[in-house]
Amino acid sequence: MGDKPQTAGLVLIGNELLTGKIRDANGPYLIAGLRRHGIDLAEVHIVSDDIEAIAEAVNLVRGRCDHCFTSGGIGPTHDDVTMEGVAAAFGVELEERGDLVEVVQAVFGTGESAEAWRKMAIVPTGTRLEFIGRHWPVYVVGNVYVLPGIPEIFRAQFDFVISSIEASPVESNVAYMKVGEGELTRPLTELAESYAGRVDFGSYPVLGHPDYSVKVTLDSRDPEALSEATQRLVDSFPAEALFELAERVEAGEA
Amino acid sequence: MGDKPQTAGLVLIGNELLTGKIRDANGPYLIAGLRRHGIDLAEVHIVSDDIEAIAEAVNLVRGRCDHCFTSGGIGPTHDDVTMEGVAAAFGVELEERGDLVEVVQAVFGTGESAEAWRKMAIVPTGTRLEFIGRHWPVYVVGNVYVLPGIPEIFRAQFDFVISSIEASPVESNVAYMKVGEGELTRPLTELAESYAGRVDFGSYPVLGHPDYSVKVTLDSRDPEALSEATQRLVDSFPAEALFELAERVEAGEA
């Protein structure tokens, strides 16, 4: 298994996500990206544009996970309060940073309407800036990456951040079973116990599919244990109980 | 404005959501349903199949919101531990209930493979059962509705539950603005302050749209305040700054 896998948590910020005005696209992007890269996502929180709610969620995640990502709430308008929330989480003040004022002025100029954008130069004390070429920098506070909600920018910054994190990808097999969860429960429980910590088993009933009724997934960072556990699962049932076995399924497909 | 609006929180449970094996469909359904019905969604948590993580999220939500919904983890297999998590949240034991054993036997019979389904008769002490006609009952513990992850069943149970909650819907207007967030910030901040608690303003930049650059939303349960605030927003800019004004937009559309 090697080293302990890296873990991450996500805090999605914005009233618009909770009212359904905007359907979040950053969560699915991050989930697929972490999976592909081999970082385990432990938890996701969706909170409103509320300083205390943001601070609480950030503190839960940064205390438990190696990496905390936030999405949203860093623009210039009144409902953008993520920086206040992150500062509150760390118990530090906000400060206007000269190096960020330069970035803001380079992008938005110095006219009257550009004045509002200066808010984006105000960050928690101790914020590190990670520059992606000539793009806007990524704000990093401790182990918290403060990313914007706009999907195009979120994606560029997220891809940049995870490319610098070393991790080891998970491999997956999927068994499409014709038997119901009732028949699966006992053998699956025994296998899950016997491979605890080495192979993760998941069981997902699918209603109304003509060919199978449960999708059983096996995840592991140990290829040998994965093969062996898969064989043992298949051997637990008569051949006609298995509709299909998909091996070494791509991250995001299983 | 009438009474204080009802609030709800959601706990989505399952490793499959965090690994991207299953893309959650219940969150979006609940978000749209609560919005249409007039219940404010305050927070969403996605947690793994872990008793402590479930208990923590349920306790956060049930303590702060009028209603807590959970989705997933109530089937018969080893990874279904939601009942344990909810019991831990309330500090109560699990018990096998005679009335639920009858439901299980009516649906799955009494054969050997049906035995596994008896797990679904084991619930936290004090669980109330709300029967939807002849369907499987909804499990309710305190203000926590414990719903299944399978979307078809989640939807039926969720619709049933919210139909019994009295609430007052929110009305929305949307202004599609041709100016950037920089120009919007000052008037929007002033309006948000002057209508605090009566009208919620949101500002959402849209990259690369040919006709507008920011979507400004106004939400209220007070139709008069909504009209007045919308007029004041429009009057804050020259006519050519407004691309389009959409009034009384349906829940889920704004």
The 10s digit of each residue's pLDDT in B111-136 is 877 888 999 999 999 999 998 876 78
Q: What is the pLDDT of residue B254?
A: 57
For domain B7-163, is the CATH number 2.10.109.10?
no
Cα(A180)–Cα(A25) distance, integer angstroms: 33
Q: Which of B26, B171, B195, B204 to mutate to test the interface with A (most CBs of A within 10 A)?
A: B204
Q: What is the pLDDT of residue B2?
A: 46
- Region A150-156: mean pLDDT is 94
Q: What is the pLDDT of residue A3?
A: 64
**Residue A86 φ/ψ, nearest 5 degrees:** -70, -40
Q: What is the pLDDT of residue B242?
A: 96
pLDDT at A219 over 50: yes
The 10s digit of each residue's pLDDT in A59-110 is 999 999 999 999 999 999 999 999 999 999 999 999 999 999 999 998 888 8
- Region A103-123: mean pLDDT is 88
Q: Which of A52, A77, A253 to mutate to test the interface with B (most CBs of B within 10 A)?
A: A77
Cα(B151)–Cα(B17) distance, integer angstroms: 13
Q: What is the pLDDT of residue A235?
A: 96
- Region A51-56: mean pLDDT is 98
- Region A216-222: mean pLDDT is 96
pTM assigned to the model:
0.93
Asked if the ipTM is above 0.90, the reply is: yes
Domain boundaries, chain B: 7-163, 171-249
Q: Which of B46, B61, B218 to mutate to test the interface with A (most CBs of A within 10 A)?
A: B46
Distance from the Cα of B131 to chain A's closest Cα (Å) equals 21
CB count, 10 Å around CB of B237?
Answer: 16
Q: What is the pLDDT of residue A254?
A: 57
Q: Measured between CB atoms, does B138 come within 8 Å of chain A?
A: no
For domain A171-249, is the CATH number 3.40.50.1000?
no
Question: Which tokens sit at A248?
Answer: 């070494």
Q: Chain A contacts of B48, Cβ < 8 Å?
A: 42-43
- Share the mean pLDDT of chain A: 93
Q: What is the pLDDT of residue B120?
A: 93
Q: What is the pLDDT of residue A136?
A: 83
Q: What is the pLDDT of residue A13?
A: 98
**Between residues B207 and B57, which one has the greater pLDDT?**
B57
The 10s digit of each residue's pLDDT in B137-190 is 999 999 999 999 999 999 999 999 999 999 999 999 999 999 988 899 999 999
Cα A181–Cα A185–Cα A188 angle in degrees, nearest 5? 115
- Of the listed ranges A99-103, A196-200, A249-253, B54-58, the least confidently predicted one is A249-253
Cα(B80)–Cα(A9) distance, integer angstroms: 22
- Region B31-40: mean pLDDT is 95
Q: Which residue in B184, B186, B140, B185 sits closest to B164, CA to CA?
A: B140
pLDDT at A216 over 70: yes
Q: Which amino acid is at B42?
A: A
* Matching residue, tokens 């697929």: A32
- Residues A69, A154 contacting (CB under 8 angstroms): no
Same fold, B7-163 and B171-249: no
Q: What is the pLDDT of residue B94?
A: 98
Task: Express as a percent the part of chain B with pLDDT over 70.
Answer: 97
Determine, for residues A113 and B180 on separate chains, whether the beta-carbon distance falls below 8 Å.
yes
- Residues A2, A221 contacting (CB under 8 angstroms): yes
The total number of residues written for chain B in this structure: 254
- Region B234-245: mean pLDDT is 95
Determine, for residues B41 and A32 on separate chains, whether the beta-carbon distance falls below 8 Å.
no
Q: Give the chain A residue whose CA is nearest to the CA of B8.
A: A18
Q: What is the pLDDT of residue A238?
A: 94
How far is the CA of B184 from the CAs of B188, B197, B205, in angstroms?
6, 20, 11
- Region A12-39: mean pLDDT is 95
Q: Measured between CB atoms, does B91 come within 8 Å of chain A?
A: no
